[in-house]
Every structure is written in structure tokens, then in C-alpha cells.
Structure 1
């Protein structure tokens, strides 16, 4: 079983560097997928209210027999629930579906700049954190201007910003900003949607060189960048494959070749314009 190193967040809480994401995992398949991940050695599970599969995550955790303190559970607030009071109510809903007494990390899913509610939302996050119902609070899909405004209007710096990040979208400026202010970078869609990255000749060449799969090469690149990463799959063999990336290293030539793949190409929504759930 793979041993996953931990990353220390800015409040001293530790998170496994590689976790299991359940985005787009159908609710009916979630419990089985999460149980397979836990069996493979994952101890960090990332879900969200919008995924509608928090109950499946909770069921898998309850059935696993793994002590709660050995797990790191993240969920996220959906856009239409932003605002102080609605955030508190939504958190209670998520906790009930998960069947947990606390979550390890809670994230604002999108900044939704058109709604302009993320400062009020963050104040509710700060209350939940102060009440010790969450061990760490963070954001997802925030750009630098969103983070700067959050810093100016609050007392707690986000522990994490979870963003789309992969070799075709390396987000160097944003990652540098995170480092300056003690925010950890977490990658969603670490393998990029659509499959083109995993057939890229640079990636497949490095995979052949190391006797690894293209997915393992990309995940190893994330790990060596210091990124927290949450690949997802519902296939047990791939779930196991994705965590088996801590027994080899990419060399300087590999990293330089991957650095040259950056195209600034998003495969998901643009955080500056994505406002799904805002009825304004």
C-alpha cells in the first residue's frame, strides 16, 4: 500500500498530498468508488454539495472502519448558497449527508464575481472555523484579484485554493502568489479533461522512459511541484495506479520538457465569468 506524504497548511493542519476526488462520480457509484480508494490507501476524500454524492462518501467512510482522525474530508459550498446565513445552513446540510461531526476542510466552490457574496460567505466560514466545526477553510477557483479582496476584508488567510491545474495550464503566476501568502495550491482536473494530455508525445515518452503510465507521470509532476492533487476514477485498477507515484522521480530533463507544455489552456470554466447558480 502506498504511503502518501502530508502537506502542512498555514494553520498547522496536515493534509495528504494526494487524495481522491469524486467530481462527476454518480451518486449511486460513489460509495463503491470511495471504498475502493480507501482500500487502496487514500486517506483524503474531496467532494462537494454540487456533486450530490456526499451521502455516498459518508456511507463509505462509515463502512470502512478507519478511525475518523486518520481521514481528511473536504467538501464545498455551492454557488447559490453563498451568503452568511445560507452558508451556515448549507454546511449543516453537508455535515448531515456526510454523517460526520466535523469536516477537515470546507471550500467556497467558485468566487462568482457577479454575485459579489464571497466576503459575506467567508465570514460564515470564519465562524464555522472558530467554532471548531471545520479544521481548515479555503477557496476554489479564486483568481488573484479575488484573493486580494478576500485578504483585505477578512482575518483568516485561506489554507488552500483548489484550481484547475495540469501541464497544459500550469498557473505559474497564481502559484507564486499562493506561495507569497502561505496559501497551498490544490489541483483539480490534474490530468486535464478530454484525454489529450495523456496521449501527448512528451508525456508518453517520459512514461516509457520510467516504465510508468502517462497518468502516473503527470501525477508525479504535480507531487514534485509541491501541489496537493486529487485525481478521480471509478475503476479500481486506475484508482490504485493513481496513488502509486511515490517510488520514482522525474529528472530535470523531464520537468523541463513538461514545463514547455504550458499552453494556458483551460478545460473547465473561467472563474472570472462562471456564475452558475447566480440568479441576480
Structure 2
């Protein structure tokens, strides 16, 4: 499972493991066991958020994993509703306290808009204020790297207007069936690393017969094919699971998808997110 030992290097020189563990929808009272289990398997990259309500459990797992803190990469996200400097600064300190850690490896603005107005109104000034708070916390050594999530090109350009730090990462919904090629190219041009969340499309992709047939051709599972796809796009892949068997399987991706098959997966468009379609980011809004 060599993928667990492989890293990308962010534009500021900080290394981030290529495969991570997403923790969305893993309850705070269950997440510590899940993260400790992942670390035991070999995972070194754990992703959480203020909105997930499980930072406490993630922090507990990091502190009690038996692995040195510097060997683990912990990301969290500033709540999407926070669009002013003072609240952002307080929330950053809040995450550090809840996690029980003296630094966070990567902190992101969770969304350019509050969730109840996703892709809605104009929060340009608020995003610049929140970004300034992240920059100051980064300068103070509380955050090793800083970035954004769900940011489109115009959202990034807004941040860049007055930024002293170009975002180190942009965490996006990326999977076979949803590949925002232009945005990926733009991020690459700015040395912004893309992190792919929901690389298995919340399970929706499992039913796609074309993807099933391709996975069979490579002798792998559909989730393994989909995770490998995001890795070959040059992204960090963040599959979410609390199941140790799935964690192990998700890390067994040491195979290569051909260029032609990458094109097929890149061109896929038809994905039904089922029950997850109620969430703003999956609703197509």
C-alpha cells in the first residue's frame, strides 16, 4: 500500500499525503476509533471541519494514536457562515482548542457562501476578511498551510486581489462524472493543489455500468478505480469511511489507469446523488 507513503508538496514546501481519510458524517463519539484505526493501517492525512461537529474526536485520535504529531497531517475548515475577520480569528483558535492541538496542518474556508445561500449572494468582502484571518494565523504559526473549499475561479480571483498568501489548496467535489477540468487547470496554473472530496460520488458511481466494466478490466473495485482516477488527476483523494476494511481497500490503488480510460472517466456526466442531492454542493445549484 505504497500510496499511503506518497506525498504532494504544497507551494510553501509543506508535504501532504496523497491519500487521506474524510470524516464527514462520522459522529464525534465514533470518529476517534475510526481515525485511530486508519492511522494503524497507515493513513497519515485526516480531514475534518467545524461543520462536521467531530473535531474533538479527531483531535483525541491524533493525540492518542501513538504516532508522532509531526507525522500526521490534520486539516479542518472554517465554518462557511463566518465572513468577517474577528469571528474567523476566534473560530481558528476555537478549532485549535477543540482539537486539542497546538497547530493545524491545513485550514480551509469551507465555502465561498454560507450553506443556506450556496452559490447565491455576494460574499466577496467577507471572504477576503476570512482569508486575512487565515493569513494572520498562518503567519503566527498556528496553521502550517491555508486554503479554500468549493471555490470557483471567480472566488479564487477575489481572494487573490489582496492576498499575501496564494491559497495552498482548494478542496472540491471531484469524481468520475464530475470533473471540473477548467477549474482544475486554473488551480494548477496558480500552484493551488486540488483535494478531491467524495471521490466515489457518495456511492452514486457504484451503479454506473460503464465504470463497473472498467473496474473489472483492471481487476479492482469501483471505489478503487474512482480513487485512483482522482489521484491521477493530480489531486489529493479524500474518501470517507469509518469501516477499516474499506480503509484498507481504498489504499490498494497501486495500478495505472490508461490515458484512454482516464478520458472516458473525465467525460462522464451522469451521476444521481440520491439522498445526498439535498445537500447544496450536490444539488446542482
Give the TM-score taking structure 2 as reference length.
0.90
| Counterpart check, 1:262 vs 2:276 | no
| Counterpart check, 1:102 vs 2:103 | yes
Query: What is the RMSD computed on CA atoms of the aligned residues?
Result: 2.0
Correspondence for 2:229: 221
1:55-87 CA distances to partner (integer Å, 9 max, x unpaired)?
A: 110111111110011010000100233311111
Aligned 8 A contact 1:202 1:258 in 2: no
What number of residue pairs does the alignment pair up? 272
Distance 1:252 1:172 in 2: 15
Distance 1:27 1:114 in 2: 33
Distance 2:81 2:222 in 1: 37
Aligned 8 A contact 2:3 2:18 in 1: no
Query: Cα 1:62–1:270, aligned 2, differ >3 Å: closer, same or farther?
Result: closer
Correspondence for 1:231: 239
Correspondence for 2:90: 89
| Counterpart check, 1:175 vs 2:180 | no
Structure 2 residue ranges without an equivalent (≥5)? 114-120
Q: Residue 114 of structure 1: CA displacement?
A: 3.7
Higher relative contact order (CA 8 A, sep 6+): 1
1:113-164 CA distances to partner (integer Å, 9 max, x unpaired)?
A: 5444110111111101111111100000111111111111212110001011
Query: Cα 1:192–1:66, aligned 2, differ >3 Å: closer, same or farther?
Result: same
| Counterpart check, 1:210 vs 2:211 | no
Q: Residue 269 of structure 1: CA displacement?
A: 2.2
Q: Residue 257 of structure 1: CA displacement?
A: 2.2
Q: Residue 3 of structure 1: CA displacement?
A: 4.1
Distance 2:3 2:173 in 1: 25
Aligned 8 A contact 1:171 1:264 in 2: no
Aligned counterparts, 1:267-278, within 5 A: 268-270=279-281
Aligned 8 A contact 2:145 2:168 in 1: yes
Moved over 4 A (4+): 263-268
Distance 1:49 1:16 in 2: 21
Q: Residue 265 of structure 1: CA displacement?
A: 7.8
Correspondence for 1:163: 172
Aligned counterparts, 1:29-178, within 5 A: 29-112=30-113, 113-116=121-124, 117-178=126-187
Correspondence for 1:248: 255
Give the TM-score taking structure 1 as reference length.
0.92
Q: Residue 256 of structure 1: CA displacement?
A: 2.5
